[in-house]
Chains A and B, each alone.
Chain A
Amino acid sequence: MWNELLSSPLFGAGLTLGVYALAQKTYQRTGRIFFNPVALSIASIIVILLLGRIPYETYMEGGKYVLFLLGPSVVALAVPLYSRRREIMQRKLPILAGIFASSVSSIVSACGLAWLLGGSPPVVLSLAPKSVTTPIAISIAEKIGGIPPLTAALVVLTGCLGAICGPEFCRLIGIRNSLPMGLAVGASAHGIGTARMLEENRMAGVISGLAFGLNGLITAFLLSLIVSIFG
């Protein structure tokens, strides 16, 4: 009976929502940035699954319904972009230049560092799209010969890192305005960073959302170009 219940969607979906609600509460109560709700939820669920010896596949019987909502959420980003279209059009030069810089610097720094530190080719290739939002990153990794689920995990790790310390890091290096900060966090930490920026201020959040959409497009294009030349 137990196994049957665990592999019904109730378990994975219920666990995800329940843990996330608790993580959000913890984050609000403590106000500590390293209690980022996404990072805290992922860590807690992994601990629960490992302790209960529950395989990831069993968890995903329910988890997949939560993951499904990521798709329409990406489509939904069109709405805040539309309502901010005038401000965005007025500042298209810094936006496009910033996103292009992020895409190139991400591919070069992630692959270059992994290669220098002795990573195997599939690992190096899995890192190439790590600053791109999960659904895009997975299809890129597949196309260029990386390991898609490893890419997905690294994408989320990158996102958590950017969400936990992105705004603080930006202020530290002298980036204070909402446009460059939103671009920096959105282009490096995609949707998870965007969720944090939406809490900081609306404009930074919208720019962050734009950055992660466009960054995905540009990185997908650049990497498929590189692969078609060298592949």
Chain B
Amino acid sequence: MVRGFALLLFFQFLGETISRGLKIPIPGNVIGMGLLLASLVAGLIRAEWVEDASELLLSHLALFFVPAGVGVMIYFELIGREWLPIVGATFISTFVVMAVTGWVAERLDFKEESSDVE
């Protein structure tokens, strides 16, 4: 477990270094995810080294968004002033995106679903 966390933090650090060093607009943790995936595929890292730590973090993923969400309270005034464009665009656009994405993927997905039932 500790080894897993150390590796996850190491890859995030590596990603941050690349993101900041090369001034890429992609955040370090996403680059870190790509690097870890590449290392797993290349066999440099074994899946069982990082499985436990990653399982623990991902099963509580939703929790980690809470503090950022509470930040909305600072913007109550701005949201109150421009509530129609902010709330309207956020709501409608969320459903538009889901419909467009789902439909495009469904049209192009010819493979039979076999993994639905687990």
Chain B residues, CB < 8 A from A220: 25-26
Let me know if B85 is at the binding interface, CB within 8 A. yes
6 A–B pairs (Cβ distance < 8 Å), ordered by A: A69-B57, A72-B12, A78-B34, A154-B86, A188-B101, A191-B65
B71 close to A152 (CB less than 8 A) = yes
Dominant SS among interface residues on chain A: helix
Let me know if A75 is at the binding interface, CB within 8 A. yes
Chain B residues, CB < 8 A from A6: none
Chain B residues, CB < 8 A from A50: 73
Q: Which of B66-101 contact A (CB under 8 A)?
A: 66-75, 78-79, 82, 84-86, 88-101
A24-38 to B contact mask, C-beta < 8 Å, 1/0:
000000000000011
Cα distance A194–B55 in the bound complex, in angstroms: 14
A203 close to B115 (CB less than 8 A) = yes
Cα distance A75–B97 in the bound complex, in angstroms: 25
A137-157 to B contact mask, C-beta < 8 Å, 1/0:
001100100010110111111
Interface residue tally for chain A (C-beta within 8 Å): 118
Chain A residues, CB < 8 A from B91: 161
A109 close to B92 (CB less than 8 A) = yes
Chain A residues, CB < 8 A from B1: none
Chain B residues, CB < 8 A from A49: 70, 73
Q: A154-B90, A177-B116, A220-B26 are in contact. Are A183 and B105 (CB under 8 A)?
A: yes
B108 close to A105 (CB less than 8 A) = no
Q: Which 7 A-B pairs have the closest CB atoms?
A: A119-B85, A63-B67, A98-B105, A76-B54, A153-B72, A184-B102, A156-B69
Q: Which of A19, A37, A71, A178 contacts B12 (CB 8 A)?
A: A71
B66 close to A66 (CB less than 8 A) = yes
A95 close to B105 (CB less than 8 A) = yes
Let me know if A83 is at the binding interface, CB within 8 A. yes
Q: A38-B69, A59-B70 are in contact. Are A136 and B27 (CB under 8 A)?
A: yes
A178 close to B89 (CB less than 8 A) = no
Chain A residues, CB < 8 A from B88: 113-114, 117
Q: Which of B36-84 contact A (CB under 8 A)?
A: 36-37, 40-41, 47, 50-51, 53-55, 57-75, 78-79, 82, 84
A98 close to B111 (CB less than 8 A) = no
Whole-angstrom distance between the Cβ of B87 and the nearest chain A Cβ: 8
